[in-house]
Structure 1
Amino acid sequence: MISHIEEIPITPASYPFSSAERYCELSKRGYVEREYYIQGTANVYRSISNGPLVEIRTSDAPYINRCIVRTPTDPGAASGNVVVEIINPTSFMEIERMWILGHREFLRSGDIYVGITSKPNTIAKLIEFDGKRYGRLSWANPTPDVPFTFDPDELIRSGVAQPDLDPRYETGLFWDMLIDLARVLRSDAPQNPIRDFRRDLICLSGWSQSGSYLLRYINSFAEMADSGPEGQVFDAYLAGGAVHSLVVPVNQYESGRSYAPELRRVERCRQPLIAVQTESENGRMQGWRTYIDDSDRSDFRYRCYEVAGASHDTRYTYVDYYRDDEDLKRIDHLPAYTGKHAHPNDYPSEILIAAAFRNLFRWVRTGAGPTRCPRIPVDAYGENIRDAFGNSIGGLRTCLLDYPCARFCNTSRVEIGQGTVDKNSTVDGLFGHREPFSQNMLIELYGTLDHYRELCEQSTREQVSRGFVCKEDADALVEAAVRAAVAGGLV
């Protein structure tokens, strides 16, 4: 239960971590950014027989969390769409990946964004960034004297658990935090930070580990929460880059547990769910083992888009967005590409995510499901099957793959210790690279730059007509392809 929501003042000397005002100049685009403490109590849950059902383990544990809210400056400009993001904690830094991918669509449409801190492991970096601003945050373990039944270091070394187990805090407080915040956002309560805005559709979203959090929420909490006296919590879901091999434990004491197979994928969801995967997840991260068909059943409304060409992290989403931020340098947490290749993967997956959000909102409002898309086929080892150019076949495609100027790869070679996940590997499986074609090859394939542009425009018109690319992004997509052709020497 949330007892208090308090706005945190923003000044030139004290502002939110990774502030979008600083990165995106929100005030010049008719938006405002605010940050809030969320204070209350939450139950900690436990799994029943390692399946999707849960029960209360510990009741009414106190906490203080935070959320970031971005709204149109003018309440009358709000679309009624509210995107709640489970902020990604994997790097021990708050990464608002769904904001990074979707904010162009949110800003031009008038959507509201709410990001909620999802794990206490990021609090240390928040405090290092600004101790006065974030020193109050607390996810204290309500049962600190209860020991783990496993060796945390061994689970972390083996890759079974995330490297953030700590008996001083409890990750399992999050589920009630999330549900209670969504209920406040729906209400007319004075403490609702968006009470003056239209808010008739609330979507839950998350990327990577946070996408896996979203899947666990649907499987273990959605039905229970929706059946409460307050009614439905979320109207739609968009899971980005979710790692299906990772079943998020309900509380940290369940880390390393062998969960029931049905928790590795969603098989029932009454609200529309769109999953957007990149080449990194559909194969290497075991997405192919949890394959499930698209559906329009009343108890399972689902689309899965596998983006051919994109890797889990890309130059824009992981490096360029942060603009060489001096604050992140100061706390030694500026994201960087560590691969040995000259060209990190720069596939514009943000353009496809924008269309996915638009399709999802339309699905909720009209009941008409979006266009289906073929998947990326894999071989017996889970590797994506590729064409003669070395690019994956199938999947959600753009002119960048229909008329390629490069080979897009979902991995990069790195020095030992520099991999995003496996520090003992010479391969980073999350941040890929691009291998440009030679000038002679481009000329043989396309002849002239004008002809190449015509091909890309034709391909993009087709993708717009199918709803995979927003009309507003069509020119930007074509120009990205043309820039690559020019860089390769096509004239």
Structure 2
Amino acid sequence: MPNLLLGSYDLGELGYAVEEYFVAGTATSYRPAGELTDDGHWNVVAADRAEYVTRAVTVAPVDGARFNGTVVVEWLNVSGGLDAPAVWLMGHRELLREGYAYVGVSAQRVGIEGGASLVADLSLKTVAPERYAPLSHPGDAFGFDIFTQIGTVVRHRGAELLGALRPERILAVGESQSAMFLTTYINAVAPLAPVYDGFFVHSRFGPAAPLDGRSLLDPGTIPSLPCPRFRDDAAAPVLALITETDLLGSALPGYLSARQPGDGPARVWELPGAAHADNYTIQGAFLDNGRTPVEELARAYRPTDTLLGRPLGHFLNFAPQHHYVLHAAIARLHDWVRTGRAAPAAPRIELTEPDAIAVDRDGIARGGVRTPWVEVPLAATSGRNPQTDRMAMLFGSGEPFDAAHLARRYPGGHAQYLTEFTAALDHTISAGFLVGADRREILELADITAQWQFPR
């Protein structure tokens, strides 16, 4: 099996096959042909060329009749010192049940050769040197063209990666650092290489990745980077999902510095009460195969104050909403590309001057995409936390309501809570920010977690 954290379940039992390929070629880097302006209208020209050997991991339905015609190609995230399929981990349930094919691309040098990270050197050549000895990455400046070339193979020579499947649409996705690279890709490279039919930009901060290959984890890089909007003439539909953590930033300037005009063509969903990463990221995603008992999923959401074995003194963000909204984002982008019907627009998270988030009576951010976890809450969850190290800052915080708060909020107890939660859930599904396929599980999860808090 390839070295990629796809989950602790057997994808074969779900009707999917996993394959790994080494892909070789000659890639081009780019340099600006003018100012990198805030509007994202970036003009670039070809610069250097370099040979590469990278890898791509495919997850595809064994039965071609299940394939929905769309391939999701992920720019794997290297912030932790390894190739991480961040969008896959948060969104695999939607991909598996709807018949997508998936390709994870080792687009950056750190994932293969090692380099600056938030955790440790877990690069391919470090953890499996014999298997990955043939790989060679010339640097992140060439990652943009490598990503283009993999997309081109998927589109025009799909049999080389996907066997008998014949792709009709290709979506590019990336989270966090990868989202910042996708921002540069959308603004500068996609106009020259219209390979992808749509872009999902997940948890982007303000800056866009540099074209010259400098590391985003080098503090010296950040001050020099522009914080552009998505260009308003993007080559394909763009949908971005932004949490509170991403909006205000932490070690990096927040997305607030690059906020789109409210009437722009890109769809940007700002998600209140959500953090860049949460309990699902480190617990639920690895066991959630679509058949996992809801009681087991609920345990993964239990508040924890420990991250990677280190006590923090506060709970990580444990609201279930983030990955469920991500399911909807994938579904809406797919529908947009397939039918031309744009994804729904969403209001912004409300701010107080100059850049603090406005909160409601429950201590939860106002505005943004309103899910039942913020409309009918059992806890105050947030994208902020008091930690100072860069990893912990990504996980936000949460604080369950005490008995007195619950009694004031829901005098009718558990039954009132579930009634209000159900109504809010159905409204959010109707608005397009959750998918109906998740409704039953969400309600069961809400019932179990409510039993933990309401007095018996």
Measured in 1, the distance between the counterparts of 2:81 and 2:307 equals 12
Identify the residue that residue 428 of structure 2 maps to in structure 1.
463
Give the one of 124, 132, 135 matched to 1:134.
Answer: 132
Give the one of 57, 61, 70 matched to 1:81.
Answer: 70
Q: Contact 1:442/1:490 (CA < 8 Å) preserved in 2?
A: no
Where do 1:84-233 residues align within 5 Å?
Answer: 84-123=73-112, 124=114, 125=122, 126-140=124-138, 170-188=139-157, 192-226=160-194, 233=195
Q: Contact 2:108/2:140 (CA < 8 Å) preserved in 1?
A: yes
Identify the residue that residue 343 of structure 1 maps to in structure 2.
315
Q: Contact 2:227/2:258 (CA < 8 Å) preserved in 1?
A: no
Measured in 2, the distance between the counterparts of 1:366 and 1:196 equals 25
Q: Contact 2:237/2:266 (CA < 8 Å) preserved in 1?
A: yes
Indicate how the Cα distance of structure 1 residues 94 and 260 shifts in structure 2: closer, same or farther if over 3 A, else same: closer
Q: Contact 1:319/1:335 (CA < 8 Å) preserved in 2?
A: no
1:199 Cα offset (Å): 1.1
Identify the residue that residue 249 of structure 1 maps to in structure 2.
210
Q: Contact 1:319/1:336 (CA < 8 Å) preserved in 2?
A: no
Indicate how the Cα distance of structure 1 residues 39 and 188 shifts in structure 2: closer, same or farther if over 3 A, else same: closer
The one-letter amino acid of 1:309's match is G
1:364 Cα offset (Å): 1.4
Indicate how the Cα distance of structure 1 residues 48 and 73 shifts in structure 2: closer, same or farther if over 3 A, else same: same
Give the one of 252, 258, 276 matched to 1:312.
Answer: 276
Give SS of 1:38's match: strand
Identify the residue that residue 365 of structure 2 maps to in structure 1.
392
Q: Contact 1:339/1:412 (CA < 8 Å) preserved in 2?
A: no
Indicate how the Cα distance of structure 1 residues 337 and 442 shifts in structure 2: closer, same or farther if over 3 A, else same: farther
1:101 Cα offset (Å): 1.2
The one-letter amino acid of 2:72's match is V
Q: What per-residue deviation string (whole Å, max 9, x for no partner) do you get for residues 339-385 of structure 1? A: 52453212221100001111111111211122221110122232211
Q: What per-residue deviation string (whole Å, max 9, x for no partner) do you get for residues 253-284 of structure 1? A: 69848768573543331421111000101123
Where do 1:350-369 residues align within 5 Å?
Answer: 350-369=323-342
Indicate how the Cα distance of structure 1 residues 221 and 339 shifts in structure 2: closer, same or farther if over 3 A, else same: farther
Indicate how the Cα distance of structure 1 residues 242 and 435 shifts in structure 2: closer, same or farther if over 3 A, else same: same
Give SS of 2:51's match: strand
Indicate how the Cα distance of structure 1 residues 172 and 116 shifts in structure 2: closer, same or farther if over 3 A, else same: same
Identify the residue that residue 202 of structure 2 maps to in structure 1.
240
Measured in 2, the distance between the counterparts of 1:139 and 1:223 equals 24
Give SS of 2:166's match: coil
- Asked if 1:289 is matched to 2:257, the reply is yes
Give the one of 421, 424, 440 matched to 2:404.
Answer: 440
Where do 1:265-276 residues align within 5 Å?
Answer: 265-276=230-241
Measured in 2, the distance between the counterparts of 1:490 and 1:374 equals 36
- Asked if 1:34 is matched to 2:14, the reply is no
Give the one of 360, 365, 376 matched to 2:349.
Answer: 376
Give SS of 1:271's match: coil
- Asked if 1:303 is matched to 2:289, the reply is no
Measured in 2, the distance between the counterparts of 1:337 and 1:485 equals 27
Measured in 1, the distance between the counterparts of 2:109 and 2:165 equals 30
Measured in 2, the distance between the counterparts of 1:443 and 1:262 equals 45
- Asked if 1:16 is matched to 2:6, the reply is no
Measured in 2, the distance between the counterparts of 1:189 and 1:361 equals 19
Identify the residue that residue 58 of structure 1 maps to in structure 2.
48
Measured in 2, the distance between the counterparts of 1:235 and 1:223 equals 12
Identify the residue that residue 230 of structure 1 maps to in structure 2.
none
Measured in 2, the distance between the counterparts of 1:378 and 1:136 equals 50
Identify the residue that residue 10 of structure 2 maps to in structure 1.
25
Indicate how the Cα distance of structure 1 residues 260 and 31 shifts in structure 2: closer, same or farther if over 3 A, else same: closer
The one-letter amino acid of 1:135's match is A
1:96 Cα offset (Å): 0.9
Measured in 2, the distance between the counterparts of 1:341 and 1:472 equals 36
1:105 Cα offset (Å): 0.3
Measured in 1, the distance between the counterparts of 2:34 and 2:311 equals 42
Q: Contact 1:83/1:113 (CA < 8 Å) preserved in 2?
A: yes
The one-letter amino acid of 1:130's match is A
Measured in 2, the distance between the counterparts of 1:188 and 1:117 equals 19
Measured in 1, the distance between the counterparts of 2:455 and 2:371 equals 19
Measured in 2, the distance between the counterparts of 1:404 and 1:257 equals 36
Q: What per-residue deviation string (whole Å, max 9, x for no partner) do you get for residues 57-113 of structure 1? A: 213x11110111000011221001111110111121222110011100000000011
Identify the residue that residue 4 of structure 1 maps to in structure 2.
none
Indicate how the Cα distance of structure 1 residues 100 and 262 shifts in structure 2: closer, same or farther if over 3 A, else same: closer
The one-letter amino acid of 1:80's match is G
Please report the TM-score for the alignment, with normalisation by the length of structure 1.
Answer: 0.79
Mark the runs of 5 or more structure 1 residues left unpaired by the alignment.
Answer: 1-14, 141-169, 227-232, 324-333, 422-427
Q: What per-residue deviation string (whole Å, max 9, x for no partner) do you get for residues 33-56 of structure 1? A: 111111111112222244222222
Identify the residue that residue 146 of structure 1 maps to in structure 2.
none
The one-letter amino acid of 1:288's match is L
- Matched residue count: 415
Give the one of 48, 53, 65 matched to 2:33.
Answer: 48
Measured in 2, the distance between the counterparts of 1:322 and 1:128 equals 23
The one-letter amino acid of 2:74's match is E
Range with greater deviation from structure 2 (459-468 or 266-275)? 266-275
Q: What per-residue deviation string (whole Å, max 9, x for no partner) do you get for residues 138-176 of structure 1? A: 113xxxxxxxxxxxxxxxxxxxxxxxxxxxxx2111111
Q: What per-residue deviation string (whole Å, max 9, x for no partner) do you get for residues 312-331 of structure 1? A: 011111344357xxxxxxxx
Mark the runs of 5 or more structure 2 residues left unpaired by the alignment.
Answer: 37-41, 115-121, 288-305
Measured in 2, the distance between the counterparts of 1:400 and 1:257 equals 34
Give SS of 2:192's match: helix
The one-letter amino acid of 1:91's match is G
Q: What per-residue deviation string (whole Å, max 9, x for no partner) do you get for residues 392-415 of structure 1? A: 01111211111111110223334x
Q: Contact 1:46/1:55 (CA < 8 Å) preserved in 2?
A: yes
Q: Contact 1:72/1:110 (CA < 8 Å) preserved in 2?
A: yes
Measured in 1, the distance between the counterparts of 2:10 and 2:377 equals 33
Which structure has the bigger radius of gyration?
1
